[in-house]
Structure 1
Amino acid sequence: MGFRAVSDVDLKVRRGHIHALIGPNGAGKTTVFNLLTRFHAPTAGRILFNGDDITAAKPADIALKGVIRSFQISAVFPHMTALENVRIALMRKLGVSFRFWTSDRTLDRLNDQAMALLDSVGLAEFADVLVVELAYGRKRALEIATTLALEPELMLLDEPTQGMGVEDVDRIAQLIKRVSAGRTILMVEHNLHVVASLADRITVLARGQTLAEGDYASVSTNPLVMEAYLGTQTEGEADHAHA
């Protein structure tokens, strides 16, 4: 019998909510993201978006429907400027997406929009800085800007605060809260302080199955969740905070 990464996960994300997907390592969180964006093909079940069955859709078609994903590792072009990165994401509106030979004149039409997006994530002053020179937290903020440039109806954020110090974590959490207005966000996140401050609803996975679901108050006091995840994670975070 083959290994099942996730099984019988019934996940409903409400429009306009920030929904957090949490659980211990190996619980199946990133696998769920891979299924939603068709990086993996499900062997059973269905995936519906706005009432449409997208279970067998191609990744590019899912993105065109407005399901846009960020990754654990920052996925921006390091040897381009912050402005150039956002302009490339905006190129889709011109129908010239991924055609890197597009003229500068065409791309210049997008400067105002790109600058507005950079300003929305606090990076306007870094517009002309090469991404390779940006601090890690600012690279993640830039990735959120490029994700927003694709006009997501559903944003999938995979570990948006991973590897950050406390100051950057707070900055990115505030940024996610700010850009969530009028949008729907599903995020995988290990930092429970971030989850507690942002999430309207939380789904807890363990061994590929749904262990609990609800708001933070109900989930955090669930004995099964405390045993599987929250207790050990809280201790780990306390250790990290005092390190």
Structure 2
Amino acid sequence: MSIHAEAIRAPDVANFEQSDNVLVAEGLTKFFAGFAAVKDVNLSVRRGSIHALIGPNGAGKTTCFNLLTKTLSPSSGRILFDGDDISALRSSQVARRGLVRSFQISATFPNLTALENVRVALQSRFGAAYHFWRSLTAVAPLNKRAQELLEQVGLADSRNVAAAELSYGKKRALEIATTLALEPIVLLLDEPTAGMGHEDIEPITRLIKAAAVGRTVLLVEHNLSVVSNLCDRITVLQHGQTLAEGSYAEVSGNPAVISAYMGGIDE
């Protein structure tokens, strides 16, 4: 699976300089039946950076990620995207603004080809609802861009292969291609290398780096080798609260983080 890093087209970044931080959480809190899964979390994601949200099991990172992507609504606190308060918006509304979660559009359709999957995402982007009975002529103008996206994630040779028949690593690449079709300003990735063998992790890591050019990426990731090689800044959660934040070198040497990971975070 080859990846053409230089070819991935970023959205218009003319107004990226308006603020250093594109995604901000202030006092973010989420209660479930009286239990605080996330409590008073403050997070600032800088424009153009790759930012990781990590923590031991039960740290609250998935809940925090779901709050930021508007899959969940916060109990208190607020979320700012491009300076606007999006706390009360739905996930579909923030996606249209450019805050897009990978796998947000139901991952992939297993019985559609790779090309058809990307075309569905493009139809969503351009406001053309997908209908199985529409003629191929009606959606043909989207094929060129769909083919470009497949080439950019290393799936040009698999364009006519059903998603169900792709390897696990290629399915993840296809999911990223469908997300890129929505032209995100901020790309949110939930465990992008989960379940992958070593042979797939490096290509996906290169793909994320390529996708981050001209964009911002926030990811939740368990593989700390990936985090150390990929991310500019890291926020560590424990018990639903921020434990540490900084570069990988800073957080990996933090005694509180080392204790939380029961002996260190080097892999």
TM-score by length of 1: 0.92
Gaps of 5+ in 1: 238-243
Q: Does 1:184 align with 2:210?
A: no
Deviations, residues 190-211 of structure 1 (Å, cap 9, x unaligned) = 0011000110000000110000
The residue type equivalent to 1:51 in the other structure is G
Give the 4+ runs in structure 1 shifted more than 6 A.
Answer: none
Q: Report what 2:59 is aligned to.
A: 27
Q: Report what 1:47 is aligned to.
A: 79
How far apart are the structure 2 equivalents of 1:71 and 1:6?
A: 23
Alignment of 1:1-243 (within 5 A): 2-71=34-103, 75-229=107-261, 231=263, 234=266
Give the deviation of 1:232 after TM superposition. 5.6
How far apart are the structure 2 equivalents of 1:230 and 1:216?
A: 17
Any idea what SS the aligned residue of 1:5 has?
Answer: strand
* Higher alpha-carbon deviation: 156-165 or 96-105: 96-105
- Report the CA distance shift for 1:57/1:99 in structure 2 as closer, same or farther (over 3 A): farther
- Report the CA distance shift for 1:50/1:86 in structure 2 as closer, same or farther (over 3 A): same
- Report the CA distance shift for 1:112/1:199 in structure 2 as closer, same or farther (over 3 A): same
8 A Cα contact 1:96 1:102, kept in partner: no
- Report the CA distance shift for 1:218/1:64 in structure 2 as closer, same or farther (over 3 A): same
How far apart are the structure 1 equivalents of 2:224 and 2:265?
A: 8
TM-score by length of 2: 0.84
- Report the CA distance shift for 1:115/1:174 in structure 2 as closer, same or farther (over 3 A): same
- Report the CA distance shift for 1:200/1:233 in structure 2 as closer, same or farther (over 3 A): closer
How far apart are the structure 1 equivalents of 2:103 and 2:136?
A: 29
> Higher strand share goes to which structure?
2
Give the deviation of 1:71 after TM superposition. 4.4
Identity %: 61
Gaps of 5+ in 2: 1-32
Deviations, residues 8-45 of structure 1 (Å, cap 9, x unaligned) = 11010001000000001111111112111222111110
- Report the CA distance shift for 1:78/1:46 in structure 2 as closer, same or farther (over 3 A): same
Give the deviation of 1:171 after TM superposition. 1.1
The residue type equivalent to 2:175 in the other structure is E
Any idea what SS the aligned residue of 2:194 has?
Answer: coil
The residue type equivalent to 2:235 in the other structure is T
Deviations, residues 198-230 of structure 1 (Å, cap 9, x unaligned) = 100000001100000000110100010011027
